[in-house]
Structure 1
Amino acid sequence: MSVVAHQDISDAVALPPAAELDDVLRHASPAEVIGAALKIVGRDQLALVSSFGTESAALLKVMADVDPAIPVIFLDTGWLFQETLDYRDTLTRRLRLADVRSIKPLEETLSREDPDKELWFSDPDACCRIRKVEPLARALRPFSAWINGRKRFQGGARADIAVVEQDGTRLKFNPFAHVSREEIEAIYKSAGLPPHPLAAKGFLSVGCMPCTSRTSPDEETRAGRWRGRAKTECGIHTTATS
């Protein structure tokens, strides 16, 4: 795994308005959305952010078919299941992903703000901030656009997401916004993609160990995240990255 270079974009890229792109791409296939993003900003300015979770292989497969050298950012929070780390390595090899960057929170930040590793319980928003939001902002500095795997069927704040959004100074592409669960299953089946090791154990959405639980069939996909709390997002999709 390579480590992302922590540098700012040297030359600002003139980007078209997100709303205009969304009008054009709102009915496009995931591959068409990724291809458009690649054409608009170029590979050096585009990154895909993946949790290597239970549905991640589908988006990574589509991306790899378009261009397997698009940088992939993976947030290694320090609280991930070993199964997720192993799945990252499995998919990287299987899909021949050329540039997977595992990003960790800064040790000095962890020592200062979470020395006892109990922040996830006392203040989960702060825990997500130092382990996910801040590392992602740091990792995205060289890029002018990013791709993620949110889907409307996941419910909650994701029910009405656009295909293209403005994220601070960056464009954010959601190629799977209007894709159904059945279509994702079809991608897994046709490509013979391995499932996340925890999927068979009842985990429909997998994040950090302390804040992830099993989900029953009648619940929304992300019901097992931060169970019992009002929190539904880690913050990387609700806080501008620039």
Structure 2
Amino acid sequence: MNNIPWWGYVLLAGLAWGTYVPIIFYGGTELTTRPGTIGGRLASILCVGVAYFVLGVVIPVVLMSLRDDAQPEWKTNGLIFSALAGIAGAVGAICVIFASKAAVDTAKGEFEAEESALVAKAAAEPNPEAKTAIETELKEFRSGRGKYLASYRIYIAPLIFALAPMINTLLSLVWHPKPGAPFHFGFDVPSWQLPVGILLVALGTFLVLYSKEAAEAKKTAAAPRPVPVGAVAPAKPA
């Protein structure tokens, strides 16, 4: 592994973290027995834990037992903060899994509420033409169920990967641990690149999310509008 350059590890980390969210969502969905249950999400967490155990426990133990240059110095501070880092990583992985489920559940609740409103509106409409228009709208609405359920899920990865580097940078500005002294704090005045970078990250996240909303709005505007309630077709000229 010493032959891999630093930027190679950067690319691999970006590839791994960038594909994690959609892969874990699909895996958890496939493991779910029925909608509304959390068994599939818990099973996906278990799979992540097994992968962490193999990569984070088995392989390091094997390498430390075989190589002289793989022997660590077991210091209390190192063990504590490394464990905290592991906890943070595990919590992040679990939160991604349940964020995906919560996003789908939220969208599903909104979809069903809007669907019920359209059904009730159609049932209460006395005008046959308006009733037909509402039923057509309901049919089109139901046909887009899959896309509607994914409407919030698409926000998860952009928000996470925009928020994480900002927190990392802000924490690095005030926390400066030294060997044997982890609680060493101070404030380094940032250069102009920091606020500009934060602004660009926020702008990039906004554009990613806005592009999705704009596309949906464009489709809605292009769709035929239902006939207003009580509307009467214009009389043909004699």
TM bucket normalised to smaller: under 0.3
* Larger helix fraction of residues: 2
Where relative contact order (Cα < 8 A, 6+ residues apart) is larger, the structure is 1
* Larger strand fraction of residues: 1
In our comparison, the structure showing a higher alpha carbon Rg is 2
TM-score by length of 1: 0.27
